[in-house]
Copies of this chain bind each other. A is one copy, B any other.
Amino acid sequence: MSERPEQRKDPVDAIIDQWATVRPDLDTAAMEVFGRIYRLSRAMGERTEKAYARFGIGRGEFDVLATLRRAGEPYTLSPRQLSATLMLTTGGMTGRLDKLERAGLLRRSPDPHDRRGLKVTLTDKGLELIDEAVGAGLAVQTEALSGLDDGQAGQLSELLRELLRTTEDRQD
């Protein structure tokens, strides 16, 4: 089974090998893919967290600011739109907005068309911060990807899109 003396040797291979020893009946091919996806996600999460810390925000707050920034002028969305986009409960959203509002990075104001609702708007300070922070985050990710050449990166991106597309259809 261990042909390819090439590289091998990543933590997921070690786990796969252990399973092969104690449970040779298992087909662990899928675990190899998703195990790596899990570890990459976690490692990059920590790394980008550090990049954002310099701006006094965490990954969660970054995502809120970035979503407002991407929406374009006037950088306004409702808490509901934000929590839906970020796959977050409204309770979690309330906490993030409190923190960002306290830091002066966004502003809550009543929705003129619906007295239940709010509008959340980026302040000038928030706009300035997110425009710098998004660059810093991208730099970290670009650096991490630089171990692959452009062809490999493109191929990886397409395979991931295909996988994401097919798995998100089959929703629970």
Interface, chain A (partner B; CB < 8 A):
7, 9-13, 15, 18-19, 21-23, 26-34, 36-47, 50, 69-72, 87, 131, 134-135, 138, 141-148, 152-153, 155-157, 159-168, 170, 172
Copies in the complex: 2
Residues of B close to A160: CB separation below 8 A: 33, 36-37, 40, 156
Contact among B12, B26, B44 for A135, CB-based, below 8 A = B26
Residues of B close to A11: CB separation below 8 A: 164, 168
**Chain A contact residues: helix, strand, loop or mixed:** helix
Distance between A39 CB and nearest chain B CB, rounded to angstroms: 6
Judging by beta carbons under 8 Å apart, are B165 and A26 in contact?
Answer: no
* Given contact pairs A47-B172, A70-B18, A36 touches B161 in the complex (Cβ within 8 A): yes
Residues of B close to A168: CB separation below 8 A: 10-11, 43
Residues of B close to A146: CB separation below 8 A: 166
* Given contact pairs A26-B135, A32-B157, A38-B41, A143 touches B170 in the complex (Cβ within 8 A): yes
Taking A11-B164, A22-B69, A148-B162 as known contacts, 13 extra A-B pairs with beta carbons closer than 8 A to each other, sorted by chain A number, are A23-B134, A26-B134, A29-B142, A29-B157, A34-B40, A34-B44, A36-B157, A38-B44, A41-B41, A41-B42, A44-B167, A147-B165, A155-B159
